[in-house]
């Protein structure tokens, strides 16, 4: 019994344990469940508040060093501004998926909306894409190797690996390839047809910049600089609409008085792939402590910015940051400050440089003004004239007037009237051209000037397009020679070229593989006519002859200058109303505008339209001024290139990007005669007392060589007298004597070797030393007799002539000229002080005396050509020594005018070198040099003369001997 009770109790206890255990487990399960639910809720809250973070290390750009003149006047500096950067973030891909589109389409949409926002606030995207849409067609803004590099980047290869077809790709073909791909596997930017060509080009510019930056880790691409406060606020308010867009504080490069210094200072921009490789290779080769460049760095592209890159470029800083999925920086956790670049001081005097440039422009304008004629004749060889119809046409030819605007919906009445007349004329011209090609086939020599120009244009156009395969054409072929000599028609040439496989037919719509000459010719004519239909350059030829025949009047074109805001009708109300009412003729109106410099020689791009002035310190070799005209605004090329402006500069016929002082070469003409004098005196073929008789023509050689004074003659002369009157015959004889061998027989090679020896002593066998890109000099290697007067094949830049005359002025210290004064770091410590190197010209003192005396007599002697010209400053106590020179390059154009000089004569301080290509006469160059001396030595009558903004119309008349 007791046993049973015990057993039952044990069972009961066991069941209770089980029950309790079950209860416990149930309670625990409930607790776990509640905790699980709680975690889910809390987790959801955490997820809602979770922010994606990614750690990045970014470079912080350093401030570039300033550029100053010798007196500390700032020429280039940095300004704080706000820039817009952009990168393709994960958020864009996410939104593309959400919207059911591809990533490229979404990216294009964001970029387009950014462009619209900026333009609404009158800001602009950076537009340095090297293709522009102008005059109804796509055009490159790059040439030669730079263009090939761009094409190679587009195709993802190197320039050396480009196929022939890729190299020949037109701007439109590259544009279409980037917009739509190749129609096969390559999609490229996939910019759909909802965007216009202009809009697509804007999007493409940004997409291409992103494409170039694709290999750089977290380095957003700057797509707009110096944006307004309105754009800044709008983007911040609408940040969610623009994933990948960030506003950043930036350093903007600014240039003061840009047109005066831009060819010297240059500009900066994003480093190219080629520059990146070259710079980094140089850093490694030199084991330099300098940091290597990355693809987003800014470097000097031209001028001092490029040449002094190593000094101006600072040291980058570094930041460690966290960014969100939109690319927005959330937190900066670590930073290293950048170090600013060094300041570069130039040898220039800012005020002198500005004065020299302005005076140069005024002098060139004065020459143009004095040679204008209302007639159609170009005058004679000795007195070229500039017909006014050429001035009117130059306004269209050099794009001062935009002829494409004549057909715009907002064109003025005058523009519409001109365009209507043009359309009628063009229709007639095209009909006659087609008739000439198909039926008439008149030999070129019998066509009038107008249609001869049209046919030559067609030939050039097809050659440029390689339809006429230039590398296949046999230049010695009888038919080609006949074509060049205008003995046959263009049609005859075409048919012969077709038979000889000189024509590329790949662009023609040939229906089958069996085609004959006539079928190809018909397709060639069809292709030619289609090309001429929308060819802006061809249209200009039509305008040329319409203006010449007065079908378009000078008055119409002058009024259009106001319609297109080239001139301001409100500011110029009096002249505008006189022109409208016929109270002033278009001819007188244009003369007035040229005189006032409201229409400049650079805009007209006629002869002359360019020149240079160099002022050197003869005792140090420092360059005090180096003015080259025309110039450009480097503010529009720096930081990022304004492609439209750059295209305008490239197409400007006055070549504003060419530094005339450093890169434009001319024969020195009679300015070379001092070297010939030194050679003759030092080689003892003449003495200071030797007399040579000039009879106006030098017939010792065949063919005879004339003196510039022929049919007159200078008679008996010594060396200093020969320099004074610039007698060619005297120096012909010196050149002849220099060429005599030991037997007394003339050998031109011997004479040329001696001329080279002495030209080299004065630095003419090498570049000048100036720290800018410079063309190589050329000492003549042909005809010792004519080389002795600066003809032959002599060819030098103004900078090289400036070193030569500086050496003459200081009695033989031949400096490597410099424009660098010193470099100072950001703590004010001088780390470079430039002292020009020099070599010594060792010649007899009597030789120096002879050439100095001769140069003095050019300006002050009784027979010197510049005696009257310099009389006003001579009366004020300043005596100048100088030498004139003229050089003929093209018989159909005026001579170049040159003048080399120094002052004061008794104790030289500065040398002034002036070169005016196609400047009619050396007297024009000498007159400009005189103005520089007046300014430098403070001889101007009053301050008003210095600031008078009018052309120098007196003394710019082209008179005076050489």
Question: Pick from 474, 480, 507: which is nearest to 493 by CA?
Answer: 480
**Alpha-helix residue ranges (DSSP H) falling in 448-534:** 449-464, 478-484, 490-499, 517-533
pLDDT of residue 181: 85
Phi, psi for residue 161 in degrees, rounded to 5: -95, 0
| 314-345 residue pLDDT tens | 888 777 777 666 556 677 777 778 888 999 99
Low-confidence ranges of the chain (pLDDT < 70): 1-53, 56-59, 183-186, 215-218, 323-329, 509-514, 942-947, 954-961
* Contact (Cβ atoms closer than 8 angstroms) between residue 165 and residue 202: no
The span from the CA of 782 to the CA of 700, in Å, is 17
Q: Give residue for tokens 């004679």.
A: 380
The span from the CA of 635 to the CA of 781, in Å, is 43
Q: What are the angstrom distances between the C-alpha of 344 and each of 175, 311, 628, 772, 819? A: 41, 8, 21, 14, 10
The span from the CA of 910 to the CA of 917, in Å, is 23
The single-letter DSSP state of residue 289 is S
Take residue 893 and report the two structure tokens written for it. 């154009």
H helix or E strand, kind and range, residue 68:
strand 67-68
The span from the CA of 805 to the CA of 858, in Å, is 15
23-57 as b/e: b if 16+ CB within 10 A: eeeeeeeeeeeeeeeeeeeeeeeeeeeeeeeeeee
**Alpha-helix residue ranges (DSSP H) falling in 51-102:** 90-99
The residues, ordered by sequence, that sit 6+ positions from 802 with a Cβ below 8 Å of its Cβ are 614, 616, 623, 768, 817, 900, 911, 913
The span from the CA of 267 to the CA of 298, in Å, is 10
End-to-end CA distance of the chain, in Å?
A: 155
The residues, ordered by sequence, that sit 6+ positions from 303 with a Cβ below 8 Å of its Cβ are 262, 263, 264, 265, 266, 267, 772
The strand pair at 372-373 and 386-387 is best described as parallel
- Which residue spans within 517-648 are E strands per DSSP? 611-617, 623-629
Radius of gyration of the chain (CA): 37
- Cα 21 to its chain centre, rounded Å, is 93
The span from the CA of 903 to the CA of 881, in Å, is 6
* Contact (Cβ atoms closer than 8 angstroms) between residue 162 and residue 148: yes
List 81's β-bridge partners, or say none. 250
Q: Using alpha carbons only, give the angle 787, 817, 800 rounded to the nearest 5 degrees.
A: 20
3-state SS of 302-359? CHHHHHCHHHHCCECEEEEEEECCCCCEEEEEEEECCECCCEEEECCCHHHHHHHHHH
pLDDT of residue 783: 97
Beta-carbon neighbour count of residue 285 at 10 Å?
8
Question: Pick from 451, 450, 478, 483: which is nearest to 468 by CA?
Answer: 483
| 835-891 residue pLDDT tens | 999 999 999 999 999 999 999 999 999 999 999 999 999 999 999 999 999 999 998
**Alpha-helix residue ranges (DSSP H) falling in 89-248:** 90-99, 103-120, 144-155, 164-167, 171-180, 197-212, 229-237
The span from the CA of 626 to the CA of 613, in Å, is 6
The span from the CA of 482 to the CA of 461, in Å, is 20
The span from the CA of 225 to the CA of 641, in Å, is 11
- Cα 179 to its chain centre, rounded Å, is 28
Q: What are the angstrom distances between the C-alpha of 601 and each of 99, 630, 889? A: 57, 8, 20
pLDDT of residue 2: 43
The span from the CA of 88 to the CA of 221, in Å, is 10
**With the C-alpha atoms ordered 484, 490, 493, 497, is the resulting torsion angle positive or negative?**
positive
List 756's β-bridge partners, or say none. none
H helix or E strand, kind and range, residue 137:
strand 137-140
The span from the CA of 115 to the CA of 120, in Å, is 9
The span from the CA of 207 to the CA of 214, in Å, is 10
| pTM for the predicted model, two decimal places | 0.88
List 380's β-bridge partners, or say none. 383
* Contact (Cβ atoms closer than 8 angstroms) between residue 501 and residue 472: yes
The span from the CA of 443 to the CA of 441, in Å, is 6
Q: Is 691 exposed, middle or buried (0-12, 13-18, 19+ CB in 10 A)?
A: middle
* Contact (Cβ atoms closer than 8 angstroms) between residue 502 and residue 468: yes
Beta-carbon neighbour count of residue 138 at 10 Å?
17
**Alpha-helix residue ranges (DSSP H) falling in 618-670:** 643-651, 660-663
For the CA atoms of 357, 361, 366, 369, the dihedral, rounded to the nearest 10 degrees, stands at 180
Take residue 921 and report the two structure tokens written for it. 């006469």
The span from the CA of 557 to the CA of 560, in Å, is 5
* Contact (Cβ atoms closer than 8 angstroms) between residue 674 and residue 851: yes
Question: Pick from 576, 553, 574: which is nearest to 566 by CA?
Answer: 576
The span from the CA of 521 to the CA of 207, in Å, is 42
* Contact (Cβ atoms closer than 8 angstroms) between residue 946 and residue 355: yes
* Contact (Cβ atoms closer than 8 angstroms) between residue 855 and residue 808: yes
The span from the CA of 592 to the CA of 946, in Å, is 20
SS3 375: coil
Q: Is 839 exposed, middle or buried (0-12, 13-18, 19+ CB in 10 A)?
A: middle
How big is the chain, counted in residues?
A: 962
Take residue 23 and report the two structure tokens written for it. 């209860």
H helix or E strand, kind and range, residue 49:
helix 2-49
Take residue 537 and report the two structure tokens written for it. 């350059």
């Amino acid at each position: 019994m007791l046993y049973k009770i015990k057993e039952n109790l044990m069972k009961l206890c066991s069941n209770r344990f089980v029950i309790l255990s079950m209860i416990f487990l149930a309670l625990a399960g409930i607790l776990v469940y509640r905790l699980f639910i709680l975690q889910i809720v809390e987790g959801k809250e955490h997820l809602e508040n979770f922010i994606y973070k990614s750690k990045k290390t970014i470079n912080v750009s350093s401030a570039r060093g300033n550029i100053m003149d010798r007196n500390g006047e700032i020429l280039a500096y940095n300004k704080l501004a706000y820039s817009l950067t952009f990168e393709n973030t994960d958020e864009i891909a996410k939104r593309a998926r959400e919207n059911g589109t591809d990533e490229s389409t979404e990216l294009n949409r964001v970029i387009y909306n950014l462009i619209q926002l900026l333009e609404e606030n009158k800001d602009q995207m950076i537009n340095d894409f090297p293709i522009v849409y102008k005059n109804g067609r796509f055009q490159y803004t790059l040439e030669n190797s730079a263009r090939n590099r761009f094409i190679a980047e587009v195709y993802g290869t190197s320039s050396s690996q480009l196929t022939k077809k890729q190299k020949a790709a037109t701007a439109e073909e590259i544009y279409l390839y980037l917009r739509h791909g190749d129609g096969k596997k390559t999609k490229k930017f996939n910019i759909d047809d909802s965007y216009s060509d202009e809009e697509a080009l804007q999007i493409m510019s940004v997409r291409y910049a992103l494409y170039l930056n694709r290999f750089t880790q977290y380095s957003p691409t700057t797509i707009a600089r110096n944006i307004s406060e309105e754009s800044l606020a709008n983007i911040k308010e609408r940040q969610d609409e623009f994933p990948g867009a960030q506003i950043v504080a930036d350093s903007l490069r600014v240039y003061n008085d840009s047109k005066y210094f831009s060819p010297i200072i240059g500009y900066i921009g994003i480093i190219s792939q080629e520059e990146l490789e070259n710079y980094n290779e140089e850093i490694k080769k030199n084991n330099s402590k300098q940091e290597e460049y990355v693809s987003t760095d800014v470097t000097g592209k031209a001028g001092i910015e490029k040449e002094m890159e190593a000094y101006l470029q600072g040291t980058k800083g570094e930041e460690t940051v966290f960014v969100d999925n939109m690319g927005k920086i959330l937190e900066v956790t670590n930073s290293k400050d950048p170090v600013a670049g060094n300041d570069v001081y130039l040898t220039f005097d800012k005020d002198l440089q500005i004065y020299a440039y302005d005076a140069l422009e005024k002098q060139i304008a004065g020459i143009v003004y004095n040679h204008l004629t209302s007639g159609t004749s170009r005058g004679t060889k000795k007195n070229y004239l500039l017909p006014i119809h050429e001035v009117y046409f130059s306004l269209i030819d050099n794009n001062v007037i935009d002829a494409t605007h004549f057909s715009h919906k907002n064109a003025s009445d005058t523009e519409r009237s001109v365009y209507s007349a043009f359309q009628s004329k063009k229709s007639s011209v095209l009909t006659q051209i087609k008739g000439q090609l198909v039926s008439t086939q008149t030999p070129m020599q019998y066509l009038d000037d107008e249609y001869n120009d049209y046919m030559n244009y067609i030939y050039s156009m097809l050659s440029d397009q390689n339809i006429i395969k230039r590398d296949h054409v046999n230049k010695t072929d009888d038919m080609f020679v006949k074509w060049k000599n205008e003995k046959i028609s263009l049609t005859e040439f075409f048919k012969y070229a077709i038979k000889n496989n000189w024509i590329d037919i790949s662009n023609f719509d040939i229906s089958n593989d069996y085609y004959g000459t006539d079928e190809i010719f018909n397709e060639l004519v069809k292709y030619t006519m289609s090309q001429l239909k929308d060819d802006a350059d061809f249209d200009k030829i039509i305008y040329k002859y319409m203006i010449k025949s007065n079908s378009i009047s000078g008055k119409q074109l002058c009024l259009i200058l106001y319609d297109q805001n080239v001139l301001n009708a409100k500011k110029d109300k009096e002249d505008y109303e006189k022109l409208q009412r016929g109270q002033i003729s278009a001819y007188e109106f244009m003369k007035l505008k040229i005189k006032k410099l409201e229409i400049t020689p650079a805009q007209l791009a006629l002869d002359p339209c360019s020149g240079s002035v160099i002022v050197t310190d003869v005792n140090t070799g420092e360059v005090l001024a180096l003015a080259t005209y025309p110039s450009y605004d480097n503010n529009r090329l720096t930081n990022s290139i304004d492609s439209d402006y750059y295209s305008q500069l490239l197409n400007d016929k006055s070549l504003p990007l060419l530094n005339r002082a450093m890169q434009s070469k001319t024969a020195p003409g009679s300015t070379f005669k001092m070297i010939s004098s030194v050679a003759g005196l030092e080689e003892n073929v003449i003495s200071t007392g030797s007399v040579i008789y000039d009879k106006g023509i030098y017939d010792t050689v065949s063919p005879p060589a004339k003196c510039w004074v022929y049919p007159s003659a200078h008679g008996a002369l010594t060396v200093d007298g020969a320099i004074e009157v610039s007698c060619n015959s005297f120096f012909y004889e010196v050149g002849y004597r220099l060429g005599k061998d030991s037997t007394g027989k003339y050998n031109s090679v011997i004479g040329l070797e001696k001329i080279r020896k002495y030209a080299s002593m004065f630095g003419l066998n090498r570049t000048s030393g100036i720290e800018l890109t410079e063309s190589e000099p050329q000492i003549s290697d042909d005809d010792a007799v004519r080389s002795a007067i600066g003809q032959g094949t002599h060819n030098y830049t103004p900078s090289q002539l400036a070193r030569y005359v500086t050496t003459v002025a200081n009695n033989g210290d031949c400096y490597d000229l410099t424009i660098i004064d010193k470099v100072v770091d950001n703590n004010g410590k001088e780390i470079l002080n430039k002292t020009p190197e020099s070599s010594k010209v060792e010649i007899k003192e009597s030789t120096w005396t002879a050439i100095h005396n001769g140069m003095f007599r050019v300006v002050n002697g009784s027979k010197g050509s510049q005696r009257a010209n310099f009389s006003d400053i001579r009366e004020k106590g300043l005596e100048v020594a100088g030498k004139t020179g003229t050089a003929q390059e093209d018989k159909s154009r005026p001579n170049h005018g040159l003048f080399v000089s120094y002052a004061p004569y008794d104790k030289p301080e500065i040398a002034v070198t002036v070169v005016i290509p196609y400047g009619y006469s050396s007297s024009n160059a000498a007159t400009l040099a005189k103005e520089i001396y007046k300014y430098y030595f403070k001889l101007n009558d009053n301050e008003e003369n210095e600031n008078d903004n009018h052309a120098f119309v007196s003394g710019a008349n082209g008179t005076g001997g050489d």
